[in-house]
Structure 1
């Protein structure tokens, strides 16, 4: 049956000419699918974004951006961490409602709470994320422990371990589990330099992983030695892990968003002197620090690209040049 009679009549064809009409139908369908892919390039894919518990946060902006691009979204949160911060927690029901509203038709949403300082929670988090739609295509490791840090004189084994467990160890374990789930790659003893996948050319990438760092390799972060150490490890190992994941059809990039106001510079919640904040903002190239939507836009774009692989990308509005 012809589903495009107007097109057929316009071409001077009879509606009984089923063959030619079917060709038009298929061409129209391919065109519609192409347009939809351009508008919703992540349609049919599922993303897990960790560290999403506040509407002012980077994780929330990333999840919302991926949702508008067509992805189904699973967010992870751990509210006790936010409650210990000067800016406090957010209304999780409001977080859920706003992200659900950002979904495109047929996309789905779920949220999972997990303490990522406990490594045993990680397999369950990945399993729950994949169970929502039966697949997991994108992993954004946005979670981070901050606060309760200090100078080199304040370092203790307990403080260093606390930051390492959340910021570094959990990110590596999440990435390992994601790769095992997607590619069926199993852990086994390998010699240094030995590949974990097949030979080149590699399969077309179908998975995406994003890590977050803080630009600690570009300048000092006084009073944040434990945090800077845990994030520097991710920046340092990005190329190694990216090379291995690429063999499995997974692209890894690390984002340094630079200073982003997630509430810590707001007058009503900051623990910093207001005059210092004003001076700081005035010294930046654009008179402001980053907004959560800035790194979110970069991640949304990279989630649809193949060619940028294994990079630590700084997106700071020229902050490091000032």
Structure 2
């Protein structure tokens, strides 16, 4: 098939990822950041491996998007992308290696990883317990580190090796009602510089994105209003806002950006 890049509303036509394959984790909900990244990468010519784990969403207030993974894949395929879908629970310590093995088996090579998945769980100092802390660290921090390990092991040195991690805003202000999430997401931010230093000699860049409050359907009316009032531009972040930055970090233009945590949150004032 002859691939041509297709501009999207967010303007991805300047990126050309034809011939490259990216693993995007957490692509389970059509309104999510993972879906936005997948669409933009497909529009720019990339082939995709999309990991999802819908049972996590089923246990959250926003609920499961049961048709989400298949629908996201179909959208990307309609733009010409070859898409491999993998349902995998990153609470399983073997899952990161299995996901990467399936990705390489299907596509031959993976050029970059966008570790967008997250276990989001509320909990204050008074209510947290060891089980939830262990699970949040396993899914958010441990799985991310192991995915990077498996990605680096299969990377053959070709140009364009990229890792984009996702943290939250815990380094910019307190989030005391979400301690399991905050602690595990903070670990991701802290691992970024060390992973970047280790992989930079192999011309693999590692960077981390804090997308700020993003409208993916998780906030109630009061929460939505509280955030919007603190956004100088008068709106929440959108999945495409995060995707715009991710695509640039994956591109050849960003080769010299390495080991950074980038806050892309519209001037959010806590």
Under a length normalisation based on structure 2, what TM-score does the superposition of the two structures give? 0.89
Q: Select the residue among 39, 46, 52 that pairs with 1:64.
A: 39
Is 1:117 the counterpart of 2:91 in the alignment?
Answer: yes
| Mapping of residues 1-322 of structure 1, within 5 Å | 41-90=16-65, 91=67, 92-103=69-80, 107-147=81-121, 149-183=122-156, 205-265=159-219, 272=220, 274-304=221-251, 305-320=254-269
SS at match of 1:247: helix
Distance 1:220 1:140, change over 3 A: same
Residues 1:204 and 1:243: Cα distance change in structure 2 (over 3 Å): farther
Counterparts of 2:210 and 2:15, CA distance in 1: 26
Q: Which has the larger radius of gyration?
A: 1
Kept in 2: contact 1:253–1:310 (CA 8 A) = yes
> Unaligned regions of 5+ residues in structure 2, if any?
1-12
Cα 1:156/1:132, change in 2 over 3 Å? same
Shift of 1:283: 3.0
Q: Which residue is equivalent to 1:19?
A: none
Structure 1 spans left out of the alignment, 5+ residues? 1-37, 184-202, 266-271
Answer whether contact 1:52 1:76 (CA < 8 A) is retained: yes
1:215/1:238 Cα in 2 relative to 1: closer, same or farther (>3 Å)? same
Task: Tell me the CA shift for residue 121 of structure 1.
Answer: 1.8
Shift in Å, 1:209 = 0.4
Find the aligned partners of 1:157 and 1:299 in 2 and give their Cα distance: 33
User: How far is 1:68 from its partner?
Assistant: 1.2
Asked if 2 retains the 8 angstrom alpha-carbon contact of 1:76 and 1:114, the reply is yes
Shift in alpha-carbon separation, 1:276–1:115, aligned structure 2, 3 A: closer
Deviation at 1:298, TM superposition (A): 0.5
| Structure-1-length-normalised TM-score | 0.75
Distance 1:219 1:66, change over 3 A: same
Q: Deviations over 1:92-133 (max 9, x none)?
A: 332222122233xxx411100111100112211101112222
**Structure with more contact order per residue of length (Cα contacts < 8 Å, sep ≥ 6):** 2
Q: Relative to 1, partners in 2 of residues 1:223 and 1:94: Cα closer, same or farther, differing over 3 Å? A: same
CA contact (8 A) 1:238 1:254 kept: yes
